[in-house]
């Protein structure tokens, strides 16, 4: 008897709680962690139970709903509720600083809150919940559009290289870079995907390979340092990755190692694409130089799976992201269209 595959989802909302797939344990364990207060959502983002720019934005929106629910249950005054929500917003934004999607989602929730500040606490809760659900649903639609827009750049039988995880589990569903790959595959292009393992937390090996193999998409896992060799062998037709924040001029922050891939792709004359929703574009930041790069614990590098792999007392430099300059990017693929050779004017026109 055929067993039906369960849909892959980073999170779902049920009975006033946010349920987050704890991605730290994939692919060996697929367990959901239930958050009933906002600080659990903040911790889940910081500890990377939920990760990926759009996914943490959506989780943050639900985090605000949970904070509103806590205020409602404690029968806070209107003033105290608004202060509690402001504090929750600040904590969520601080949890991971590079991806703009958290502040984008929190700002969207705050704007609505301001419009309805004279409503009852219950009404505010209902309005915020509906908005968080909209943000979640819109992200899935946007990813489908990104997929369709991007699939045009994927030739039949192409070999595609991707880095980290910009898939269903990094978003509301379907994925951005993996959305492009999925759409190309759905169009019968019969592509092959090389996936960087993505040190130090192995999002490529643990999550992207898991997603693609579940979808029966042909995939080969490589070490990060094999990418140049693979390109030199003529085995890569294009690179597609996601983004955590795109500056107004097109400079893009994404998982550490993305910049090296872009340099390699440029040297080998291989097209290099960024796939991201326009909520990832931060027009308030002129260039990538102003993007704050999150630095994570050195133990993520000195240890592997709980085992020490470097001598005692060694400190590792562990930036979670890097910046790829716009001039190395062939095109940015969004739900509103594709921006080739991105610059400020072209990105401005998207809005
Ligand atoms: O540290 P992570 O796993 O949150 O990093 C994720 C990435 O860098 C993704 O490529 C990016 O967030 C885009 S997800 C659609």
Q: What is the DSSP string of 179-208?
A: HHHHHHHHTT---EEEEE--TTTTHIIIII
Does residue 196's CB lie within 6 angstroms of at least one atom of ligand 1? no
Residue 292: φ, ψ to 5°? -75, 125
How far is it, in rounded angstroms, from Cα 126 to Cα 124?
5
For residue 91, give every residue at least 6 positions away whose Cβ sits within 8 Å of its Cβ, in sequence order, or none: 38, 39, 42
Nearest atom (ligand 1) to Cα of 99: 12
204 Cα to the center of ligand 1, angstroms: 10
171 Cα to the center of ligand 1, angstroms: 9
How far is it, in rounded angstroms, from Cα 331 to Cα 24?
31
**Is 251 part of the annotated catalytic residue set?**
no
How far is it, in rounded angstroms, from Cα 18 to Cα 33?
8
CB distance 64 to 48 below 8 Å: no
Evaluated on CA atoms 233, 238, 242, 243, the torsion sign reads: positive
pLDDT value at residue 2:
46
How far is it, in rounded angstroms, from Cα 100 to Cα 243?
10
For residue 303, give every residue at least 6 positions away whose Cβ sits within 8 Å of its Cβ, in sequence order, or none: 309, 310
Nearest atom (ligand 1) to Cα of 175: 15
Query: For residue 39, how far is the Cα from the chain centroid?
Result: 20
pLDDT value at residue 8:
85
pLDDT value at residue 6:
73
CATH topology classification for 11-141: 1.20.120
Task: Identify which of 203, 293, 294, 333 to mutate to test ligand 1's pocket (most ligand atoms within 8 A of the CB).
Answer: 203
Looking at the chain, the domain(s) classified CATH 1.20.120.420 span 11-141
pLDDT value at residue 1:
44
194 Cα to the center of ligand 1, angstroms: 17
For residue 126, give every residue at least 6 positions away whose Cβ sits within 8 Å of its Cβ, in sequence order, or none: none
Beta bridge partners of 308: 303
In the 8-state DSSP scheme, what is residue 2? P
170 Cα to the center of ligand 1, angstroms: 6
How far is it, in rounded angstroms, from Cα 112 to Cα 109?
5
Pairing assessment for the beta strands 218-222 and 192-196 based on DSSP bridges:
parallel
How far is it, in rounded angstroms, from Cα 222 to Cα 279?
30
pLDDT value at residue 4:
57
Q: Where do runs of H (alpha helix) occur along the chain?
A: 38-46, 53-73, 78-95, 101-115, 121-151, 177-186, 203, 209-214, 227-232, 258-267, 299-302, 344-350
pLDDT value at residue 305:
85
Residues of the chain with pLDDT under 50: 1-3
Nearest atom (ligand 1) to Cα of 48: 4
Does residue 59's CB lie within 6 angstroms of at least one atom of ligand 1? no
How far is it, in rounded angstroms, from Cα 163 to Cα 241?
6
Nearest atom (ligand 1) to Cα of 275: 15
Residue 85: φ, ψ to 5°? -70, -35
Write the class of the CATH domain 144-349: alpha beta
Looking at the chain, the domain(s) classified CATH 3.40.50.10470 span 144-349
Tell me the CA distances in angstroms from 20 to 14, 26, 54, 60, 205, one per residue in order.
11, 13, 14, 12, 20
Place of tokens 């005054």: 77
Burial of residue 165, with CB atoms counted within 10 A of its CB: 0-12 exposed, 13-18 middle, 19 or more buried: buried
């Amino acid at each position: 008897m055929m067993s039906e595959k369960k849909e892959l989802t980073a999170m779902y909302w049920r009975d006033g709680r946010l349920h987050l797939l704890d991605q730290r344990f994939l692919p060996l364990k697929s367990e959901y962690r239930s958050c009933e207060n906002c600080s659990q959502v903040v911790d889940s983002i910081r500890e990377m139970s939920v990760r990926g720019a759009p996914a943490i934005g959506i989780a943050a929106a639900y985090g605000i709903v949970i904070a509103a629910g806590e205020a409602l249950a404690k029968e806070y005054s209107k003033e105290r509720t608004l202060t509690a929500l402001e504090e929750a917003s600040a904590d969520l934004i601080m949890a991971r600083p590079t991806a703009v999607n958290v502040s984008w989602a929190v700002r969207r929730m705050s704007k609505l809150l301001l419009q309805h500040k004279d409503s009852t606490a219950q009404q505010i809760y209902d309005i915020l919940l509906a908005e968080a659900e909209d943000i979640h649903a819109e992200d899935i639609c946007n990813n489908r559009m990104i997929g369709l827009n991007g699939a045009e750049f994927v030739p039949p039988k192409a070999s595609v290289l991707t880095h980290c995880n910009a898939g269903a589990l990094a978003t509301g569903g379907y994925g951005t870079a993996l959305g492009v790959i999925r759409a190309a595959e759905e169009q019968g292009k019969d592509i092959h995907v090389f996936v960087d393992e993505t040190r130090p937390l192995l999002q490529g090996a643990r999550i992207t390979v898991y997603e693609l193999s579940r979808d029966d998409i042909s995939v080969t896992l490589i070490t990060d340092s094999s990418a140049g060799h693979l390109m030199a062998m003529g085995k890569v037709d294009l690179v597609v990755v996601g983004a955590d924040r795109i500056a107004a001029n097109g400079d893009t922050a994404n998982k550490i190692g993305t910049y090296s891939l872009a340099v390699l792709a440029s040297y080998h004359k291989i097209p290099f694409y960024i796939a991201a929703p326009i909520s990832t574009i931060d027009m308030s930041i002129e260039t990538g130089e102003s993007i704050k790069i999150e630095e994570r614990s050195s133990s993520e590098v000195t240890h592997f799976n709980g085992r020490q792999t470097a001598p005692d007392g060694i400190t590792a430099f562990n930036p979670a992201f890097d910046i790829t300059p716009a001039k190395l990017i062939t095109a940015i693929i969004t739900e509103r269209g594709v921006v080739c050779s991105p610059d400020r004017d072209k990105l401005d026109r998207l809005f």
